[in-house]
């Protein structure tokens, strides 16, 4: 295993280019199997999760090439409809294949994703949505077994759950509805830009979808889809992480090729801390300051503040002047990074789904352990701002979702070295 060794205290400055959105790429690659024709998808980030998805697609029988940030996929040879535990355990998002697989083959057999460090990850909404389209779904030996014996049939599907909308349940039901007979209305659909990106990809393939980006999506079923060429949107979570990396070091950073329009809630909160933010059509530029103010943050489904930036924001607020309250409304247990940030000298107290972050004057380098993808990013940001050396173990989590994270930060003036780790 590898670790990052970070010499903190360097102000970041310069420009950085945003990669393609991980959370778009995974469902889009999955949806490409709904045609029998070849698709070419551009702006694909080189990430462990993308490599895992490519492996699953190859396992299913597709021909895939992944070069120069482009994936070419020929799904015509697909002859399997299962995703075993070995794949699903490393990447929960493999569930994004459930809808496309049922649409393509009329059946699917998927290992259940189970819980993870950010809390329970139920799939009741995925199951309920598919059942409304006429799919028989049962759970056996840790597998979801879906069978659309009588074909897929459009219906009215209400997809709201205890914690609101679901990104991948919306993706799955939308995909299945595209090749169903008749019209489907998804009420309480997730509005995340990545769901819209998937919908736009499907429309290019020949799907009939209206209400894209709204909580009520209407899909008129079509008989078949074409192969297409498509480019995915920039990763708003990566862009936000780099904005925070600049801000936490008091540096000046311009994040290019991003879409600030997708980042309203985040930009609003950062601006309230006193950091100077300038945005254009596809860039965000920040001028860091020495002392920033505390702000309260509530994570919500889009267009609310994204849960995927909560950990990084917590790292930033741990150095703010005053007390910030962070309320996690999407994954209420997603706070495992708080304890590790405290090891660096932060003062964070947990109270159920809330974290009380009392700003401290400085953080001090220490050894910390990454627990999940975004928590890892938060620890790296804290390490950039801390005095002395911070060692972050288990950085393999980071490479699931950030392309060249250390290289990009070093390009901005950070001092991060990747070294062999003795901790397993
Ligand atoms: C996606 C993102 C992930 C992000 C999350 C929330 C991808 C590949 N991953 O994950 O990065 O953190 O959205 O923005 O796009 N829920 C249920 N029942 C279900 C499904 C979800 O109760 O059947 C709950 C979840 O436990 C959670 C909330 O709904 O509390 C939102 O989860 P969801 O939007 O489904 O997350 P994912 O789509 O798995």
421 is in an annotated binding site: no
Q: What is the pLDDT of residue 122?
A: 87
Q: What is the dihedral of CA 43, 112, 217, 29, to 10 degrees?
A: 20
Ligand 1 pocket member 122 (CB < 6 A)? yes
Q: Which domain, by its residues, includes 275?
A: 2-19+234-420
Over range 240-252, report the average pLDDT.
98
Q: Which whole number is the average pLDDT over 86-106?
A: 91
Q: Is residue 213 part of a domain?
A: yes
Decide if pLDDT at 120 tops 80. no
pLDDT reading at 169 higher than 90:
yes
275 lines ligand 1 (CB under 6 A): no
Catalytic residue among 116, 191, 254, 258: 116
**Does one domain contain both 147 and 73?**
yes
If you average pLDDT over residues 108-116, what whole number do you get?
A: 78
52 lines ligand 1 (CB under 6 A): no
Cα-to-centroid distance, 66 and ligand 1 (Å) = 27
Ligand 1 in contact with 57 (CB < 6 A)? no
If asked whether residues 136 and 14 sit together in one domain, one would say: no
**115 pLDDT exceeds 60?**
no
How high is the pLDDT of residue 114?
A: 60
**Rounded to a whole number, what is the largest CA-CA distance in the chain?**
64
pLDDT of the residue at 117: 72
Please list the residues that pair with 387 across neighbouring strands.
364
Tell me whether residue 372 is annotated as binding. Answer: no
- Give strand pairing partners of 144: 110, 139
Mean pLDDT of 275-296: 97
Where among 204, 223, 242 does a domain terminate?
Answer: 223
What values do phi and psi take at 230, rounded to 5?
Answer: -150, 150
Annotated catalytic, 191? Answer: no
**Triad 143, 191, 88: Cα angle to 5°:** 20
Closest ligand 1 atom to the C-alpha of 26?
8
In a domain, 178, yes or no: yes
Pairwise CA distance, residues 122 & 284, whole Å:
35
* Angle separating helix axes 236-248 and 22-31, nearest 10 degrees: 170
pLDDT at 9 over 80: yes
Evaluate if residue 300 carries a pLDDT over 60: yes
Is pLDDT at 354 greater than 70 in this prediction? yes
What confidence tier does 88 reach under pLDDT thresholds 50, 70, 90? Answer: confident
**What strand order describes the sheet that includes 216-220?**
156-158, 183-187, 216-220, 208-210
Together in a domain, 114 and 202: yes
Mutate to test the pocket of ligand 1, among 88, 166, 373, 401 (most ligand atoms within 8 A of CB): 166
Query: Do residue 163 and residue 276 come from a single domain?
Result: no
Read off the pLDDT of each residue in 205-216 and give the average, rounded to a whole number.
Answer: 98
* Atom 15 of ligand 1, residue of closest alpha carbon: 23
In a domain, 289, yes or no: yes
Examine the domain organization and report whether 8 and 107 are in the same domain.
Answer: no
In angstroms, what is the span from residue 397 Cα to ligand 1's centroid? 18
pLDDT tens-place string over residues 189-202: 999 999 999 999 99
257 labelled as ligand-binding?
no
Cβ atoms of residues 50 and 66 within 8 Å: yes
Q: 148 in helix, strand or coil?
A: coil
Residue 229 lies in a domain: no
| CATH code of the domain containing 416 | 3.65.10.10
Is the whole-model pTM more than 0.75?
yes
CB atoms within 10 A of CB 29: 28
Which of 99, 167, 190, 400, when mutated, tests ligand 1's pocket best, judged by the most ligand atoms within 8 Å of its CB? 167
Confidence band of 424 (pLDDT split at 50, 70, 90): low
Residue 349 domain flag:
yes
Each as own residue / partner, the long-range contacts of residues 201-210 (CB below 8 Å, 24 or more positions apart, any chain) are: 201/28, 201/31, 201/228, 201/230, 202/31, 202/34, 202/174, 202/175, 202/178, 204/228, 204/230, 205/31, 205/34, 205/35, 205/39, 207/178, 208/178, 209/174, 209/178
Q: Read off the pLDDT of each residue in 236-245 and give the average, rounded to a whole number.
A: 98
* 228 lies in some domain: no
Domain count, the chain: 2
**Could you write out the DSSP letters of every residue in 260-314?**
GGGGHHHHHHHHHTT-EEEEETTEEEEE--SS-B---EEE-STTSB-GGGHHHHH
Residue 145 pLDDT > 60, yes or no? yes
Share of the chain above pLDDT 70, in %: 99
Sheet holding 323-328, edge to edge: 297-299, 323-328, 354-358, 347-351
Q: Where does the pLDDT of residue 111 fall: very low under 50, low under 70, confident under 90, or very high at 90 and above?
A: confident
Output the CA–CA distances (angstroms, integers) from residue 273 to 14, 184, 213, 215, 265, in the order listed: 21, 43, 29, 31, 13
Ligand 1 lined by 163 (C-beta under 6 Å): yes
pLDDT at 116 over 80: no
């Amino acid at each position: 295993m590898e670790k990052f060794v970070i010499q903190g205290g360097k102000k970041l400055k310069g420009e950085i280019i945003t990669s393609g959105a991980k959370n778009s790429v995974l469902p889009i690659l999955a949806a490409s199997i709904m045609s029998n024709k070849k698709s070419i998808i551009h702006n694909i980030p080189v990430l462990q999760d993308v490599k895992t998805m490519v492996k699953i697609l190859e396992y299913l029988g597709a021909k895939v090439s992944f070069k120069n940030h482009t994936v070419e996929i020929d799904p015509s040879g697909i002859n399997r409809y299962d995703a075993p535990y070995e794949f699903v355990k490393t990447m929960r998002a493999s569930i994004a294949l459930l809808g496309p697989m049922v649409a393509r083959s009329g059946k699917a057999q998927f290992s259940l994703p189970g819980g993870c460090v950010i809390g329970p990850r139920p799939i009741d909404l995925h199951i309920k949505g598919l059942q409304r389209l006429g799919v028989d779904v049962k759970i056996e030996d840790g597998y979801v077994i879906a069978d659309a014996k009588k074909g897929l049939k459009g219906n009215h599907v209400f997809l709201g759950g205890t914690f609101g909308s679901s990104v991948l349940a919306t993706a799955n039901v939308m995909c299945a509805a595209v090749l169903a007979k008749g019209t489907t209305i998804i009420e309480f659909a997730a509005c995340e830009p990545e769901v819209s990106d998937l919908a736009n990809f499907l429309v290019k393939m020949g799907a009939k979808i209206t209400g894209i980006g709204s909580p009520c999506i209407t899909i008129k079923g079509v008989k078949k889809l074409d192969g297409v060429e498509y480019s995915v949107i920039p990763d708003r979570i990566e862009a936000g992480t780099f904005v925070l990396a600049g801000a936490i070091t008091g540096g000046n950073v311009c994040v290019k090729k991003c879409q600030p329009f997708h980042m309203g809630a985040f930009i609003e909160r950062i601006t309230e801390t006193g950091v100077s933010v300038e945005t254009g059509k596809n860039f965000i530029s920040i001028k860091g300051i020495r002392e920033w103010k505390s702000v309260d943050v509530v994570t919500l489904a889009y267009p609310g503040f994204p849960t995927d930036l909560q950990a990084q924001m917590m790292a930033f607020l741990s150095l703010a002047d005053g007390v910030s309250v962070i309320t996690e409304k999407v994954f209420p247990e997603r706070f495992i990074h708080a304890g590790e940030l405290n090891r660096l000298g932060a003062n964070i107290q947990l109270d159920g789904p809330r974290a009380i972050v009392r700003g401290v004057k400085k953080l001090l380098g220490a050894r910390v352990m990454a627990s999940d993808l975004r928590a890892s990013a938060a620890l790296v940001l804290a390490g950039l701002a801390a005095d002395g050396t911070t060692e972050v173990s288990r950085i393999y989590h980071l490479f699931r979702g950030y392309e060249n994270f250390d290289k990009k930060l070093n390009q901005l003036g950070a001092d991060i070295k990747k070294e062999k780790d003795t901790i397993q």
